[in-house]
Amino acid sequence: MRSTLLFLAGLTAVLVGCATPTSAPLTAEAKDRAECKEWGKGFAQDPGRMKDACLISRGYRQIYSTVLAEVWVRSTANPRQPAEVIAKDLKTCADATKRWSNEGWQQFEKCMTPRGYAVTLN
C-alpha cells in the first residue's frame, strides 16, 4: 500500500512538472479579431458588418459577403478610414448592387474602389 502511494505521489509530481499552459498567448491578429467581434456585438442591426469594418480599419483583408459572391475587401486609403465610415461604405455599395445577379460583385467593386478599397473575388 505504501509503495502504491509513493508511486502515485511520484507520478503526480512528474505529470504536474510536465504540464503545459492550456492557452498560448494571443497573436496580434487574434487579439484584433476578438476585439472587433466584441465591438461589432454592440450594433444590433448588423454586428457582422461592423466586425468586418473594424478589421478592415485595422488593415486586414476581410471576406465580405455580397450574397452571390464572397469578396475580399481591404482598405487602400492612407490613413485608413474609421470603422464606422467603412461600415457605411460596405452597406451603401452592397445596397447599390444587383445582389441576386452575377454582376453584383462587379458593381460592388466599382462602388468600393473609388472610396479607397481593393476588392477581389474570394
Q: How far apart are CA 20 and CA 14, in angstroms?
A: 12
Tell me what pLDDT residue 68 has.
67
Q: Which residue has the cell 445577379?
A: 101
Does the CA dihedral 84-94-107-109 come out positive or negative? Answer: positive
Closest Cα partner for 119 from 71, 77, 59, 66? 71
What's the rounded mean pLDDT across residues 55-70?
86
Chain centroid to CA 59:
11
DSSP state at residue 43: -
Could you tell me what percent of the chain has a pLDDT over 90? 50
Give yes or no for a contact between 53 and 90, defined as CB atoms under 8 angstroms apart.
Answer: yes
Question: pLDDT digit string (tens) for 65-104?
Answer: 876 678 889 999 888 899 999 999 999 998 888 777 778 8
